Structure 1
């Protein structure tokens, strides 16, 4: 999985010598990052919270197995008009989900 991080309009930091795409001599950090902006340090670290790790795991396409046979059965039922909607079952599950989320009893 590739993750792209946007610089959100911040100036581009110079690449370290020897990195691909760096054909010119490295610029000074003051001219590359703007006046007074600190340069990136080699020992900078990024630590993800447990929530962020869980979100990354959930975003992985292989993290949630897909029952392709069931998907195909539903697709076929939709196509031929035989798919039946059980409104009572949907309502029951919505109520159960609301209770799990902390129903305040307001109607």
Structure 2
């Protein structure tokens, strides 16, 4: 199936492209060439996002020692809840 708009998609028709010197965004692309000659440009922002995603995925989200301490305090009846502190922190989410 081919696009009839401006001859795009037709055999021998023009290919939609952007010059290699024109980045997708203004964050300074870093070119990468695949074995087949195709290239991909990642912006600095995209590379930072990839790194942050990798770090977040490898981070431990639960502190098992803290969980054990809270469980023990609950079991012993020693866990005190400061309602004022809870309210203040809930209000921080609205800002």
Q: TM-score range by the shorter chain?
A: 0.3 to 0.5
Q: Relative contact order (C-alpha < 8 Å, sep 6+): which is higher?
A: 1
Higher helix share: 2
With normalisation by structure 1, the TM-score equals 0.37
Whichever of the two has the greater Rg, that structure is 2
